[in-house]
Amino acid sequence: MGERTVYFLSDQTGVTAETLGHSLLTQFNSRNFRHVTLPFMDTEDKVREAVRRINEAAAAGGPRPIVFSTLVQDDFRAIVRQADGLHLDIFDVFLEPLGAELGETPTHAAGRAHGMSDVHTYMKRIEATNFALANDDGGISRNYDVADVILIGVSRSGKTPTCLYLALQYGVYAANYPLTDEEFEKGELPELLLKYKKKLFGLTITPERLRQIRRERRALGKYSTAQQVRFELREAERLFRRYAVPYVDTTEFSIEEIASRILDSTGVERRVRP
């Protein structure tokens, strides 16, 4: 079987169609897909052009294309249904029962989801991102009083991307502080952190994986030796246990999962909804 093209069609960014489609496709073993996102399909011409592309892919002789779409307008969905492919659209299926429940007909206002309907939301995400950057790696600001959570862990355990994801996705104020030989020699967390003990959350990782990540950054030197990596992780986990800091092993997790687990475990509230 040849490669199958999967289209993500949207009158907006395509993020919802991609997320939906990805969730569904990972339930199957097939992997031979070519992904094509067609965002901002907000005129009839653009939708017809998308259908032309889908039909062209279908005509090429491989397996029939799959089309995940989130098109708000009924007439646009009707056009896409004519394309030579399997068409799955969340609005087709869910809009009617939801409208019946809410006692409302949908406004069909394309561009409202993910739209900057709310300037406030945008600002919150930006502010949280600035906070994460200023408080990265025990950085200059150390505004731990306004932090929602302070991630601690050894170098390259995933602190920075997790903080940035929490900020961008949820508007959560996440600082991070690296655990180094200084803390390990004393066997103590610094006073600076202990003042905010309830906000601390630890990240750990397996030695094998950490070595792999560190080697990409700096192949030589003590930093990525098996011995050093094992020492740091053992001491970090000892500190987590000593101070009863909740922690998660990030080895098998994506950034989304680490972030979700932190929110779930700490009970920190999302400041914005994506």
Site for a copy of itself in 164-183 (CB under 8 A): 164-165, 168
Among 34, 44, 78, 86, binds a copy of itself (CB under 8 A): 86
Which CB, 114 or 238, lies closer to a copy of itself? 114
* Between 21 and 202, CB nearer to a copy of itself: 21
153 DSSP β-pair partners:
178
Dist CA 9 CA 89 (whole Å): 9
Does position 91 interact with a copy of itself (CB under 8 A)? The reply is: yes
Half-sphere exposure of 129 (CA within 13 A, CB side): 10
Measure the CA–CA gap between 200 and 151, rounded to whole angstroms: 6
Among 120, 116, 239, 270, which residue's Cα sits nearest to residue 177?
Answer: 239
The Cα–Cα gap between 265 and 201 comes to 9
Choose which of 46, 53, 81, 113 interacts with a copy of itself (CB under 8 A). 113
Q: Please report, as residue ranges, which positions from 114 to 153 form the binding site for a copy of itself (by CB under 8 A).
A: 114-117, 119, 121-123, 125-127, 129-130, 133, 136
Among residues 30, 45, 191, 267, the one that binds a copy of itself under rule CB under 8 A: 30
With binding defined as CB under 8 A, does residue 106 bind a copy of itself? yes
Do the beta carbons of residue 255 and residue 161 sit within 8 Å? yes
Among 55, 141, 155, 160, binds a copy of itself (CB under 8 A): 160
Among 50, 203, 229, 259, binds a copy of itself (CB under 8 A): 259
Identify the residue among 23, 61, 140, 198 touching a copy of itself (CB under 8 A): 23
> Which of the residues 197 through 236 are near a copy of itself (CB under 8 A)?
209, 213, 216
Strands 66-70 and 86-89: parallel
Tell how far CA 79 is from the center of its chain.
32
Q: Is 256 in the site for a copy of itself (CB under 8 A)?
A: yes
CA distance 97 to 118: 26
